[in-house]
Each structure stands twice: as structure tokens, then as C-alpha cells.
Amino acid sequence: MGSVFKNATIYQSRPASTKRQKRYFQARKTDRPRVVKHEQQLQTDICQWIKDVLPGVHFRSDTGSGAFNSKHEKEIHNKQQSGTSEPDLMIFAARHGYHGLLIELKADGTNLRMGRDGRTIRVYKDGKGRIIDRDYKIRKKGDWASLHIERQADTLLDYEKNWQYCARFAVGEAHAKKLICWYFDLEYVENGTLF
């Protein structure tokens, strides 16, 4: 395995001389993983919570959500569903005049709306610098935060208006649990245990 440094003879026992070497050794001292998949972990936690609280309820979770898959895996995943912006969690239970509950999960701290006016049209590139997608406008305060979130919102709105599903965004685990408790007429107990 190749080294990240020009001089491969530098070991951890010797003092690091450059900033790059110091950052490298500092990153290796931590216990946390280098890449944290927040949305995927959130989805796993919510699914386990649903199994514990609502054992008889049928639901489906989008396995490609938040995962950093290869381009080929993403293409296969998108071929196996009706669109690229499908909700992360689908609960199949009719309540409140809806056919089911669809939730688009977002990690804690995600802003769905712009907090201030943007200045440029965003361009999304891959690792090699090739343009993948381009926003069609400069985002202003109150607009959806990104083109991706806007597409997801359009999909949720379509499910809500045309197919009579309760389709919502949920930012963070607590928001998702409150939404599910509202849908099933349960009392939400924050930081509560089951037994």
C-alpha cells in the first residue's frame, strides 16, 4: 500500500514535520470512522424504532438512501424504482384519510429552505470535475435549499395531491418520530424508553 507522503520512511514514532503529516497522524488517532453516513444511520435507527413501537406495521425503507454507492449501483437502483427522488421511508397503513405515510428523511441540522439570498447558480460536479447537474436559478431566501431538495419536494407534493398519501420531510430523528406518532395517534415521549 502506498504512502501519502513523498518520503515513505517517515513513521509515527518520528515527529511529523509538515502540516500535512500532522493532520494525517492526528486523523489516525481518533476512533470515529473517516466517512460518517448520517442519513443512512438515521434511517436505520428510525426503522428499528418502528419495529419496536409498531410491530405489526408494514413499511419499506429505501436502501440506497444516504449511501455512497458507485455510479453503476446508483443507475441500477434508479432503474428499479419509478424515479430518482422517491421518499426514504414508506409506511403502508391507512390513517387520517391517507393511504400511507411517506417520509423523506434528512440529517439533523439540514436546512430545507434558503436562509439568505444566493449569489450564483450552483453547478454540481463529479470527482473528475465534470458537470453532473446545474441549477436553473439563483436561490433566494425562502426557496428550497438545493435542486435535489426541490425535486424531492415536488415528488412529495405529487404523492400528497394526486395519490392521497401523507408525504412529508423529517429533519432529524425526533421530527421523524413525532410525525409517525401523529400519524398513528400515539403519544410521543421524548427520550423515553419502551419498558
Structure confidence by residue, pLDDT tens digits, 135-173:
999 999 999 999 999 999 999 999 999 999 999 999 999
* 192 dihedral zone (left: phi>0; alpha: psi -120 to 50; beta): beta
Report whether 97 contacts 164 (CB < 8 A). Answer: yes
- pLDDT band, very low/low/confident/very high, at 14 (cuts 50, 70, 90): low
| DSSP label at residue 98 | B
pLDDT of 66: 56
pLDDT of 29: 59
CA gap 68, 55 in Å, rounded: 30
Model confidence over 21-78: pLDDT tens digits?
Answer: 677 666 665 544 555 677 888 999 999 999 999 999 999 998 766 565 677 777 887 7
pTM for this entry: 0.76
Beta-ladder partners of 101: 91, 166
**Cell numbers at 194, concatenated:** 419502551
At position 27, the amino acid (one-letter code) is: A
Tell me the C-alpha to C-alpha distance, in Å, between residue 46 and each of 100, 112, 129: 17, 20, 35
Model confidence over 69-104: pLDDT tens digits?
Answer: 677 777 887 788 887 788 999 999 999 999 999 999
For the cut 90, the answer to whether the pLDDT of residue 16 exceeds it is no
Mean pLDDT of the chain: 84
